[in-house]
Structure formats: structure tokens, C-alpha cells
Amino acid sequence: MTVARYHARTRSLFGSTGALPSVRAAVLALRPEVPMLCLRPAKASREAARFVDSFPGQVLYAVKCNPDEAVLRALAAGGIGHFDAASIAEVRLVRRLFPEAGIHFMHPVKARSAIREAYGLHGVRDFVLDGAGELDKIVAETEGASDLRLIVRLGLAKGDARLDLSGKFGASADDAVRLLRRCAAVGRVGLSFHVGSQCCDPSAWERALAQADAVIRAAAIQLDVLDVGGGFPVAYPGMRPPPLAAFMAAIRRGVARMGLPSGCVLWCEPGRALVAGCQSLVVQVQARRGDMLFINDGVYGTLSDAGALAWRYPCRLIKAAGASHETLQAFGFFGPTCDSLDRMPGPFLLPADTAEGDWIEIGQLGAYGACLRTGFNGFNDLLRVEVGEPAVPSQASRAA
């Protein structure tokens, strides 16, 4: 059955909206043989509202984490009105969906054409940079505009985040001081940093804020924006981060020590923390060999991080017939392509009687899931549905 026919069947069974009461109902009605992405828009809206209420400043959603239009609309419904764009395509997407939204170009290295279009056509005035050459590009491609806000990205030493981001972007403290002074001669200025993705240590933000404070004092400039970046973690199997309140408290403590100007605005750039739980993926088992399951999605599709990064996800089984009452067993996954690298070690905990033809719902895939799909080897079909039931529990595996 083609994806179009699956969608037509969804509408005929569940109404014109295509909204489904549960993942299990969708699976048993559609019996999909292609991967099925399940969106819970209410979950995204709730997480957005929670973050907006908790953070003492402006919350910029990192579009790269999940640019699905339905997800973006759900986040906007939860109060997100500002977006961290890392490409001109993301700028165009946000401006099309939300004509009045704040768009901030947060990639430190941009094509000249992207700078021109973002400024001239889409009203973007905020640009991040981490080198003098990028500042020269921005000034040149905006024809010396006086309404720019230039945010210098400060580099941080490698920390304890699950995904370290210290190796590619960020100016040294001395270079950041010089860049801030140059930027102040052009327009309003800001300073940003990023502690790394999936950082479970709230004190990392306090340490970064102390470093930022030293740079700001040395530059002796009037700061307009301080951006504390992203990296806010969510729970996965084997990872139980502190509650969001602990991170907000650490940021407040760090900022309170800085003595920032009264007009300085605080920004953050969450991605994973807002959307991880709002989408899950249903895959079908195509074969079993011992404790390895061959499934119809993999590292070249929605499960990229489960491969090289060995990211673990919560799972629950949906039996092709009947229900399972077996104890849980550790499995690994093979994806559908012919590449032997298409392997996900897990372990993924599922009932011991998991078999060919069964389905597995894999949770916490709203972040860095479908946006990383490649279509390699011709495996590119993806069915998208909306469901109303709660998200897959982030820790325990169970049968649906």
C-alpha cells in the first residue's frame, strides 16, 4: 500500500482530520508496512508553555531540531514567538508560517546570499558570528545597515554534555572581546554560548555565565542580548536529568552575579527539550535473528542517532495478533538498507516473544528524528499521523 493510500484509509476510518485516538488503534486499523511517525501536538504545546513560563527572557525554538510544520504550529500555540534559524531555508519556512515572528539567524557562518535574503526579504536583523571575516560579510551584504544586532558566539571548553559542541564554533575569550568592540561600532551587540547538547549538569550554565561575564567586562561595551543557548536535556532510557527548575535556577543565579544592563534581554535556544516527546515512530519487524530485529527504518532514516551515537529510546510492542505478557529482553536493531552500518545496538527492551510482523513504537523521536532522513537505498516512505494519547514513557518499556 502506498503512503497516499494509507492516508486515504486513515481519513476513511477516523474522519477528515486524520486524528487518531491512539497509536495502537492506528496500527491495527492501517497495519502499516512503512514507518509511521506519530505526532502529539498537545504535548509540544504544553512543553512550549512550560518553558516560556519558566525562562526569564525570550525563548527561541531551534528549528533545526524538528522543522515539521505541524510541530512549529503546535509550539506557536504554546507561546513560542521567536525562532532560532540556522539556514535561509529555515528563515523562509518560519516567515511563511508566522509573518510576525521574531527570526534570529544563529548560524555563525552563513552564505553571503543567505545574509542578503534574510535581511532584505525577511526582516531578519539578528545575526550570530564568531570571527572577524563573518562580521565583514554581514556588514557588506546588508550595505552597512545601522539596525543590526550582532551576537558574538563565545567558545567554551569541552564539558560533560552528551554531545559536545565545542569543536566547531565559538571565539576565544580574547577574540570575543575584540569582536564585541568591533560589533559595537556597527550596531547593537550580544553575546551567546552553548554548553553542549543534552547537558544534564545545571552548573554548566553558571560556569559559562561566569566566563561570559569576564568577556563582557573586558570588552567594556553595553550588552543588548545575552543568549544562554540550548542543550536543555530530556529523559531517555538510562538518562534521568534534573528537573527543568534546576536549570532555570542555575541560570538565574549566574545572571544575578553579572550586573547586566537593565535593558539587556536574556535569550535561550531550546530544541530537544520542547519537542522530543511530541513524536514517536512505529516500525515493523521484518525478521528476527536471535536478539537482533530487522526493522523498516534505520540510521539512514529516522533513527540516525541510534546508530553512531548509540542513542537509546523507550519502546513498546504492538503485537500483530493478541498481546504479549512476556518478560522484557534486550534487543538490537538492523535497519532496512543493504549497508552493514545500518545497525542500532541499543539495547532496546522489548518482550521476549517479539516476532516478525509485530510493530514497535519508539518514543522520544520528536528531536533529531525525521529531519535527518536521507532516502538512501530507496527507503524514504514515511506515513505521518496525529494521535491523541499520551507520549511513550521516557524510561520504561511496555506493550501498547
> What residues are labeled active site?
338
**Which residue is it, cell 516473544?**
353
Rg (CA), the chain: 23
Q: How far lies 296's CA from each of 33, 35, 39, 319, 367, in Å?
A: 8, 6, 19, 16, 20
For 129, the grid coordinates are 558570528
Answer positive or negative: Cα dihedral of 179, 184, 189, 190. positive
Distance between CA atoms of residues 307 and 369, nearest Å: 12
Q: How far is CA 226 from CA 41, 66, 104, in A?
A: 30, 24, 13
What are phi and psi for residue 335, nearest 5 degrees?
Answer: -80, 180
Burial of 389 (0-12, 13-18, 19+ CB in 10 A): middle
